[in-house]
Structure 1
Amino acid sequence: MELRRLRYFVVLAEELHFTRAAARLHIAQPALSQQVRALEREFGARLIDRGAGACTLTQVGAVVAAEAAVLLAQADAARERIAAAARGQGGQIRLAYTRSARGGRVDALVERFRAQNPLVEVLPETGWHAPNVAGLLAGRYDAAFVRPPLDDPGIGWRLVDIEELRLALPVGHPLARLRRISREAVAGEPAVMWPRENGPGMFDRIVAQVWPSGGFNLIRYEPDDEQLLRAVAAGGVLAAVPEGRAKALRLRGVVLRRFTPPVPTVDIGLAWNERTVTPVVRRLLATLEEL
């Protein structure tokens, strides 16, 4: 069934006059008559009773006109959704957050993107840097927040934010009395950290900045920043944690202190697979540029 014929018939059903309907459709009247006859042959029933220029709908014709109006509205809406997806304004985006970065510019970016693209369905997940990159390469995600540096071929990324590292200490720790902590004071202190395979680049960057002369005394692993801070609250260990995550968690028994200059930092980036980048991802990147 041709949608064009149904569209012609709906206009004829509204006008009930071949000449006026043909004028609205910008076609010749004989062409309109030909399309209506073809539709009648397709349905095997007379759809209109013809008069001198004017016409009336048969019982079957009234049903066809009503159903065709619904079908055409659905087709137009579907066409618009497809066009919006092609422009990056519709469809969906499978987006992976990294466990160590929520709040701040990350959430601001996603919320602004949602506001600008209400037709896009955001399908979020949360993982560590390494699984997020693996998900991009495997096609499970369209975009992912990651912790640079990245050296994965085929993965593009842009900087979203630079976060200061804070030192998390138990409330009763002697260093908690200081406003800023030197690297020398931290050397040799028992530390807790998440496993390096979760984010090798970020792990190495933290160690290189906080313990540049050695003395990284790692005695305990925990799976994520929340568990790191819980271990700190329990006493006996300290941890270097991104400022945004540490402030968002705010666990009792933990104090946060800044380091003496140069202030250690970690990056948060937005990454995508260069081979499968979609129009929706390009719109997310455009939103990032606006920020």
Structure 2
Amino acid sequence: MDLRRWWYFAVLAEEMNFTRAAQRLFISQPSLSQQIRVLEREFDTALLDRDGPRFRLTEAGRVAAEEARRLLEKVDRAQAKVRAAGRGETGRLRVAHTRSAPGPRASALVAAFRRCHPEVAIEAETGWTSRNVEQLESGEIDVAFVRPPIDSALLEEVIVDEEEILIALPAAHPLAEFERLERRQLAGEPVVFWSRDNGPGWYDQIREQVWPGHQPTVVWEEPDDEQLLHSVAAAAGIAAVPEHRARGLNVAGVALLRLADPVPRTHLALAYRRGEHNPLVANFVALARREPAVPPGQ
């Protein structure tokens, strides 16, 4: 059944006058009359009582007018939903966080997106950079927070935050008495690190900034920063950690010190698929580019 005829009949039922209804519909009166008769044949029942100087709605016509109104309201809602989805205002966005950066910037971006797009359902999960990159490449997630640099021809990234890398030491360590550490003071110290497989580019970036020119003496590996700091507290070694995460965890028995210039820094990036056409992703990336970054140390 042609939806247009439902619309014609709904307007006619409101106006109860063929001339006015035809004017509203921008069609001729004979065309409107013909379409209403076609609709009656499709229903196999009369919708109008044409006896007398003015037509009236039959009982079937009153039901048809009410159903036409409801049907057209549903169509309007459906059109609005489709258009909103096309603008990236509804739907589902799958976001992956990285365990090393649960801090203010990532959370603030997601919260800002929720405020701007309250009809969008956000599905969030937490992984590590390498895993997030793999899931993003395979299409399992839509956007991901990662620690750059990443090595992927399929992805693009936008830097959204920067923070300082601190040195975590056991609280009783002799170096904990210093205000700032020189890199030469770290030479030979046992180091606790997480696996390079979690984020090769980030691992190498930290190593090159903190232990330039040589490999650190890694004596133990932990899966994430929390376990790493607990190992430091147990005097297994020292560690290089991002400031937001380290201060947020606040592990007892750990002293956090800054390094002398050049101050080592790390970034947080939002990664997404190159050439992505999903408007939700476009809106999230645009927000990440537009929102001011949280100042380092905040």
TM-score computed with the length of structure 1 as normaliser: 0.92
Q: What is the rounded CA distance, in whole Å, between the counterparts of 1:215 and 1:203 in structure 2?
A: 11
Q: In the alignment, residue 245 of structure 1 is paired with which amino acid?
A: R
- Aligned equivalent of 1:146: 146
Alpha-carbon distance in 1 for matches of 2:130, 2:91:
27
Deviation at 1:202, TM superposition (A): 0.4
CA distance 1:110–1:52, change in 2 (3 Å): farther
Judged with a 3 Å threshold, the aligned counterparts in structure 2 of structure 1 residues 30 and 237 are, in CA distance, closer, same or farther, namely: same
The answer to whether the aligner puts 1:276 opposite 2:276 as a matched pair is yes
- CA distance in 1: counterparts of 2:213 and 2:68, whole angstroms: 76
Given that 1:18 and 1:54 are in contact with CA atoms closer than 8 Å, whether structure 2 keeps it comes out as no
Find the counterpart in structure 2 of residue 211 from structure 1.
211
Cross-structure match for 1:246: 246
Change (3 A) 1:63 1:216: same
Q: Is residue 117 of structure 1 aligned with residue 121 of structure 2? A: no
Q: Which runs of 5+ in 2 are unaligned?
A: 292-298
Give the direction of change, closer, same or farther, for the CA distance of 1:51–1:109 in structure 2 (3 Å limit). farther
Distance 1:36 1:100, change over 3 A: same
2:283 maps to a residue whose letter is R
Moved more, 195-204 or 146-155: 146-155
Determine if contact 1:168/1:255 at 8 Å carries over to the other structure: yes
Mapped partners of 2:123, 2:91: distance in 1: 11
Pair 58,197 (structure 1): closer, same or farther in 2 beyond 3 Å: same
When residues 39 and 260 of structure 1 are mapped into structure 2, their CA distance, relative to the original with a 3 A threshold, is same
Long gaps (5+) in structure 1: none
Once the two structures are TM-superposed, the CA of residue 153 in structure 1 deviates from its matched residue by: 1.1
Say which SS state the counterpart of residue 255 (structure 2) adopts: strand
1:62 and 1:179 map into 2 onto residues whose CA distance is 84
Task: Give 1:229-244 correspondences, 5 Å limit.
Answer: 229-244=229-244
Change (3 A) 1:60 1:249: farther
Tell me: CA distance 1:290–1:51, structure 2 relative to 1, closer, same or farther (3 Å). Answer: farther
Counterpart of 2:195 in structure 1 is 195
TM-superposed CA distance for 1:199, in Å, is 0.4
After TM superposition, give the deviation of residue 75 of structure 1 in Å.
1.8
Label 1:221 to 1:29 Cα distance change in 2 as closer, same or farther (>3 A).
Answer: same
Secondary structure of the structure 1 residue equivalent to 2:150 = coil
Greater Cα shift, 3-12 or 255-264: 3-12
Summarize the Cα distance change of 1:231–1:40 in structure 2 as closer, same or farther, 3 Å threshold: farther
Could you tell me whether the CA contact under 8 Å between 1:17 and 1:53 is conserved in 2? no
Asked if the contact 1:187–1:215 (Cα under 8 Å) also holds between the matched residues in 2, the reply is no
* TM-score for the superposition, normalised by structure 2: 0.90
Q: Report the Cα offset of residue 256 of structure 1.
A: 1.8
Query: Which secondary structure does the structure 1 equivalent of 2:276 belong to?
Result: coil
Provide the C-alpha distance between the structure 1 equivalents of 2:35 and 2:78, rounded to a whole number of angstroms: 24
Contact 2:101 2:244 in 1 (8 A): yes
Deviations 1:33-87 (A, max 9, x none): 2222222222222223235674333222223222332222222122122212222
Deviations 1:75-112 (A, max 9, x none): 21221222122222332222211111122222222222
- Give the conservation status (yes or no) of the 8 Å contact 1:157–1:271: yes
* Post-superposition offset of 1:168: 1.9
* Offset, 1:203: 0.7
Contact kept in structure 2, 1:170 and 1:238, CA below 8 Å: yes
2-side partners of 1:29 and 1:51: how far apart? 19
Tell me which residue corresponds to 1:23. Answer: 23
Superposition RMSD on alpha carbons, in Å? 2.0
Residue 264 (structure 2) aligns with: 264
What code does the residue aligned with 1:126 have?
Answer: T
Q: Secondary structure at the match of 2:169?
A: strand
User: Does structure 1 residue 225 correspond to structure 2 residue 225?
Assistant: yes
Q: Distance in 2 between matches of 1:176 and 1:143?
A: 39
1:2 alignment partner in structure 2: 2
1:92 alignment partner AA: R
Give the percent of matched residue pairs that are identical in Structure 1 and Structure 2. 49
Contact 2:158/2:289, CA 8 A, preserved across alignment: no
On the 8 A contact 1:18/1:53 being kept in 2, the answer is no
**Residue 219 and residue 50 in structure 1: after superposition, are their counterparts in 2 closer, same or farther (change >3 A)?**
farther
CA contact (8 A) 2:160 2:289 kept: no
Provide the residue aligned with 1:288 in structure 2.
Answer: 288
